[in-house]
Structure 1
Amino acid sequence: MSVFGDNLTMLRKNREYTRPQISDIIGVPWTTYRSWERGIYEPRIEHIIKLCKLFNVSSDELLGLKKLKGSNLLIKPDANEEIEDEK
């Protein structure tokens, strides 16, 4: 999976949505949404915007450039590894 896909999956599950529910909300086939979670394809910018609004996160958070709200993990984008947030 990709950082984006991992974040997308975590956000969906934390909010107790199904893949078909999310795909209906943002207007794509559920198989397309599934391919985003699996890291097979990446969404177009208009879908990223809809996802950010739905999950109430910034694009930096969704894409793994900043840690997700409520998460104590920071995603290291270049290595695709989770590292503990330094305080």
Structure 2
Amino acid sequence: MWNPPRSVISFFRKTLGIPVLVFWGKFWWMPKAPAKGKRYGLVYGKPIVTKHTENPTDEEVRAVHTQYVAEIERIFKEYKCEFGYEEDESLVIV
């Protein structure tokens, strides 16, 4: 799979202030075309601040993972109706 050079990714992240996602696949730049009348959507969550640790403990990893899952759940709850989910639908993370 092709990946852009790190310098390109860093340039866009520093210039735009957000990471740039590049999809590549069967339909040239998209891995799967959306169904007719549908659209792809992308939502960014809040950054999770971490400190670099050479050998993080299980507790440190669990703490960051808990923050990550909580942010995914918050994003889903906030935007689910905009992406075709019903208000009473819930997200299951396995």
Higher strand proportion, which one? 1
Higher helix proportion, which one? 1
Is the shorter-chain TM-score for this pair beyond 0.5, marking a shared fold? no
TM class, shorter-length:
under 0.3
Q: TM-score w.r.t. structure 2 length?
A: 0.24
